[in-house]
């Protein structure tokens, strides 16, 4: 696996700790998106709070987690939770490394996240749809062919007809 976060030996202090955290996060998660997201979030957090990690308070984290984001909109419960998880994960790393004594996120409550409603057809809709297929050889064949194509005409949203091939091969 290619290393996303090459460790820069010339760094010292908090930037070195941040890079070490991101390198560990990459090794543990294996996800480039996670590391990039954590990097952006932590750089935004520490840039906004303007304090070194040992001086950050629970209030600072709360204000960041609940604050309006770069989009200009109020954050959702999922976004608040993700921000808190990112900062908390960094502080757990700093505690393990002996660089700070406590995690400012420990005093915060994470928001409850209600699961989003499922998308697509309900089980009842699927039963009704299947019940509408004629139980004849023609109906079953048409259903089989259409379910394989699943093509849609993007302009109308209707099923796109499949081109017919001549039966005589010509």
* Burial degree of 109 (CB within 10 A; 0-12, 13-18, 19+): exposed
Q: What is the pLDDT of residue 32?
A: 86
Tell me what pLDDT residue 6 has. Answer: 52
Q: 152: which strand partners? A: 159
Q: Can you give the residue ranges of every domain in the chain?
A: 13-107, 120-162
User: Are 87 and 96 spatial neighbours (Cβ–Cβ below 8 Å)?
Assistant: no
**Torsion angles phi and psi, residue 152, rounded to 5:** -130, 140
- What per-residue confidence (pLDDT) applies to 2? 44
Domain 13-107 falls under CATH 1.10.150.130: yes
Distance CA 4, CA 40 (A): 14
Q: How far apart are CA 139 and CA 120, in angstroms?
A: 24
Give the global pTM.
0.62
Beta carbons within 8 Å of 153's beta carbon, 6+ residues apart? 159, 160
pLDDT tens across the length of the chain (170 residues): 444 445 455 556 888 889 899 999 998 888 888 899 999 999 999 999 999 999 999 999 999 999 987 788 899 999 999 999 999 999 999 999 999 999 999 999 888 877 777 778 888 888 887 788 777 877 777 666 555 555 554 445 555 555 555 555 55
Q: 159 pairs with which residues across the strands?
A: 152
Task: Give me the half-sphere count of Cα atoms (radius 13 Å) on the Cβ side of residue 143.
Answer: 12
**Cα 133 to Cα 21: distance, rounded to the nearest angstrom:** 57
């Amino acid at each position: 696996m290619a290393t996303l976060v090459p460790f820069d030996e010339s760094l010292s202090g908090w930037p070195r700790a941040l890079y070490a955290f991101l390198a560990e996060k990459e090794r543990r998660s294996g996800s480039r998106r996670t590391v990039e997201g954590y990097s952006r979030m932590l750089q935004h957090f520490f840039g906004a709070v303007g304090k070194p990690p040992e001086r950050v308070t629970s209030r600072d984290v709360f204000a960041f987690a609940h604050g309006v984001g770069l989009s200009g909109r109020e954050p959702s419960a999922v976004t608040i939770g993700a921000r808190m998880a990112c900062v908390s994960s960094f502080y757990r790393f700093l505690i393990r490394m002996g660089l700070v004594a406590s995690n400012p996120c420990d005093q915060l409550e994470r928001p409850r996240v209600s699961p989003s409603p499922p998308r697509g057809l309900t089980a009842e809709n699927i039963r009704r749809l299947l019940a509408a297929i004629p139980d004849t050889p023609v109906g079953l064949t048409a259903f089989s062919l259409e379910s394989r194509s699943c093509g849609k005409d993007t302009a109308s949203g209707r099923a796109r007809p499949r081109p017919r091939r001549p039966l005589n091969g010509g």
